[in-house]
Homo-oligomer: A and B are copies of this chain.
Amino acid sequence: MLVYDYSNLIEENIGKEGLPSNFLETNKELLQEIDNEIKAKRQDGSFGFMELPFHQPELNEIKKIASDAHGKWENIIVLGIGGSSLGAMAIHQALHHHFYNLLNAEKRNGYPKVFFMDNIDPELVQGILEVIDIKHTLFLVISKSGKTAETLSHFLFFLEKVRKEGNPIKQIIILTDPEKGPLREIADNEGFRAFSIPPNVGGRYSVLSAVGLVPAALLGIDIDALLAGARAMAKRCETIENPAYLFALIQFLFLQKGKNIHVMFPYAQALLGMTDWWRQLWAESLGKEGKGPTPVKALGVTDQHSQLQLYMDGPRDKIITFITVKDYRNEVFIPHCFKDFPDLAYLGGHPFNALIQAEQLATEAALTKASCPNSKIVLDNIDAFTLGEFIYCLELATVSCGLLLEINPINQPGVELGKRYARALMGEPNFQEEKKEIETLKCIHAKV
């Protein structure tokens, strides 16, 4: 069961930078208000992501397409960006071998290699052609609006290849709005298989919809366990004192104290993708109306040798959340050797497991001693169930923090202008006004 340990955010442990130990009592009414608001927004359908663990009309189709595909494909390529790729990428990284694409098909249990095309860099596009065979590749095209420029340009590019070398009907699967948008229309016209993204679930909250479940199932991940984990967390969050609300309240209170940088610091290589997923969730949901913390990802122990100096001795503008794992999926021992060298001798005979956990506790203790607010999310292990808990917890925490900040956590008005400017710069005739505007922006030029 996921535990949120916030001991080292309390004054008794970290001194005046911390919260008074009665902070929960003094904020209970506030949490109650947030809880009421969340329940109302769940009721009126605004927070559609809250229904996903309970209601999956296409679950059987997802399982069927996955079982039909098993053993048939060398590669899956996910064409999607932002919320259309980060969730599935995170689940894949968390649950699969660290060098998954280098394993042979047998070690992959017959599941395909997977590539997430989440950038339009021409070198990346060219690069992938050199390591896959188009006709043995399944393409998932994911865009809720069906209008995302990056995903559509990839779609056009790979569709042309598949038409030449393969069979589009078999190789292309569309995930988009159930009714609207160009991708839905194209899927209907061309006869592509398609799954629906619920209209009331925004991209960054969509990992437990078809957006995350279809790629996960195609890669052999237990999507029932993922959803069961999310349901278990939803159940825990029926009471006010739950990890999601507490995480949200605490980040909010520290933001009010001027700590505008929120660091997520997992001590597990497998969870790095999860921090990328959280980074979008947190930034895009909370960064608006001049408010919003900046999410930062760090990786234990690696970033002890990169960012820890700053966290220890830099300004007190951060709050750090470790993610720890009690049981790693392997136990690997460091052998004894060079016993005359004290710097090597103490390592021998211990498992790497003990070393990484000692370093996490040491870092936590050092930060606490230095009065740097830190807390931790403790996972028993990394599996589909605990990921489900984790995902739902942080999604709920995000909307809760948004309500505490009095902003709308499910829109993203700030990205529209850049999209319009890009279309103007691509020469679209309907965007002449924007083109003019861009030209007037740069009054002076200064460079060296």
Task: Contact check, A366 vs B418: say whether CB atoms are below 8 A apart.
Answer: yes
Within 8 A of B (CB), among A355-369: 355-356, 358-359, 361-363, 365-366, 368-369
Q: Does A167 sit at the interface, judged by CB under 8 A? A: no
Task: Contact check, B351 vs A122: say whether CB atoms are below 8 A apart.
Answer: yes
Task: Contact check, A358 vs B425: say whether CB atoms are below 8 A apart.
Answer: yes
Contacts of A148 in B (CB 8 A): 305
* Nearest B-chain residue to A203, judged by Cβ: B305
* Nearest B-chain residue to A160, judged by Cβ: B335
* Nearest B-chain residue to A98, judged by Cβ: B127
Q: Does A412 sit at the interface, judged by CB under 8 A? A: yes
Contact of A363 among B149, B304, B418 (CB under 8 A): B418
CB within 8 Å for A317 and B12 given contacts A5-B447, A355-B120, A415-B309 = no
Tell me which of A32-40, A58-66, A79-87, A208-216 binds B: A79-87
Task: Contact check, B365 vs A438: say whether CB atoms are below 8 A apart.
Answer: yes
Q: Does A432 sit at the interface, judged by CB under 8 A? A: no
Contact of A124 among B269, B363, B442 (CB under 8 A): B269
Tell me which of A193-201, A239-247, A384-392 binds B: A239-247
Contacts of A97 in B (CB 8 A): 127, 130
Q: Does A169 sit at the interface, judged by CB under 8 A? A: no
Contact of A123 among B147, B328, B337, B447 (CB under 8 A): B328
Contacts of A131 in B (CB 8 A): 99, 102-103
> In whole angstroms, what is the CA distance A101 to B329 when docked?
24
Q: Does A192 sit at the interface, judged by CB under 8 A? A: no
Task: Contact check, B415 vs A312: say whether CB atoms are below 8 A apart.
Answer: yes
Q: Does A170 sit at the interface, judged by CB under 8 A? A: no
For residue A129, give the distance in angstroms from its CB to the closest CB of chain B: 9
Q: Does A302 sit at the interface, judged by CB under 8 A? A: yes
CB within 8 Å for A369 and B417 given contacts A301-B119, A347-B156 = yes
Within 8 A of B (CB), among A374-429: 378, 412-415, 417-428
Q: Does A6 sit at the interface, judged by CB under 8 A? A: yes
> In whole angstroms, what is the CA distance A121 to B327 when docked?
11
Task: Contact check, B279 vs A306: say whether CB atoms are below 8 A apart.
Answer: yes
Contacts of A289 in B (CB 8 A): 313
Contacts of A335 in B (CB 8 A): 156-157, 159-160
Q: Does A45 sit at the interface, judged by CB under 8 A? A: no
Task: Contact check, B332 vs A310: say whether CB atoms are below 8 A apart.
Answer: no
Task: Contact check, B294 vs A309: say whether CB atoms are below 8 A apart.
Answer: no
Task: Contact check, B341 vs A182: say whether CB atoms are below 8 A apart.
Answer: yes
Interface centre among A120, A276, A328, A438 (most CB of B within 10 A): A120
Task: Contact check, B305 vs A83: say whether CB atoms are below 8 A apart.
Answer: yes
List the 3 closest A-B pairs by CB distance, nearest first: A82-B305, A287-B310, A312-B414
15 new A-B contacts, CB < 8 A, other than A241-B448, A243-B448, are A81-B305, A97-B130, A102-B102, A120-B356, A121-B268, A121-B328, A182-B341, A185-B341, A276-B306, A280-B307, A283-B314, A309-B414, A346-B423, A361-B425, A365-B421
A-B contact pairs, 20 of them (CB 8 A): A13-B443, A81-B301, A81-B302, A82-B304, A98-B128, A99-B127, A107-B130, A119-B302, A121-B270, A150-B301, A186-B341, A242-B448, A260-B261, A284-B307, A308-B414, A346-B423, A359-B422, A362-B422, A362-B424, A365-B441
